[in-house]
Amino acid sequence: MSCCDCASKHCNAEAPKPKILAVIFDLDGTLIDTERATRGVFQEFLARYGKVLDKEREEKKSLGMTLKDSATSVVKGYDLPLTPDQFIQEIIPMYQEKWLYTKALPGANRLIKHFHDRGVPIALASNSLREYIDAKISHHRGWKERFSVILGSDQVKAGKPSPDLFEEAAKQMGVDAVHCLVIEDSV
C-alpha cells in the first residue's frame, strides 16, 4: 500500500502526520515541582520506623507508578510493619502539608495560558488520585478553570504506564487520541 498517489516504487513521500488538536499534561515533574516541595518527607517517615532512606534504591525506582503500587513497593522494600493502605494513610497527610508549597515549573503557567487563550483543549492526566490533584493545583491561580478535563488514576481502569488516562482524557475532550500531544516526564 502506498502512502500517496505516486506510482513509483522508490517514492520517499512521508505519510501525513496527524494534526494536533488537544494537549494532555502530566502534573508531577511536568507542571509542578512536587519533588522539591516534599523532599525529606519520605526520609522523615522512614525514621519513625527506624529505617534509613536507601538513596540508591530510590534512584532506581520506576516513576509513573500508581499510589497503591508505590505503597506496596515501599512496604516490601523497607520491610515496614504496615499494609500498603496503612502506609498511605500515614504518609499522605505529611505530603499534603507540603503540597501547598509546590511551585510551577518554569514555563508551565505561560504554556497553560497560551493553549487556553488560543482555544486548544487541555487536559491534566496524572497517576495521583483526583483529590490529590485538586489539592496540588488549588493554589495555582487559574489552572483548575483552564483545564477542560482533569483525571486521576482512580478515575480509570489502570494508571500509567497504561494509556487509559490519556485515552480517557482525549475522549472527554471529544478528540481522537491520535490528535493529542502528551507532555509527560515519565517513559
Answer whether 160's CB lies under 8 Å from 167's CB: no
Extract the C-alpha cell encoding 11: 517514492
Task: Kindly name the residue from 5, 28, 164, 176 that is annotated as catalytic.
Answer: 28
Q: Is 26 a catalytic residue?
A: yes
Q: Is 69 a catalytic residue?
A: no
**Which of the 8 DSSP states describes residue 13?**
P
Q: What interhelical angle do 84-99 and 41-48 show, nearest 10?
A: 140
Strands (E), 103-185: 122-126, 149-152, 180-183
What span, in angstroms and rounded, lies between the C-alpha atoms of 93 and 150? 22
Task: Kindly name the residue from 26, 117, 154, 176 that is annotated as catalytic.
Answer: 26
Residue at grid coordinates 520506623: 49
Torsion of CA 178, 187, 98, 142, to 10 degrees: -20
- The residues assigned a catalytic role are 26, 28
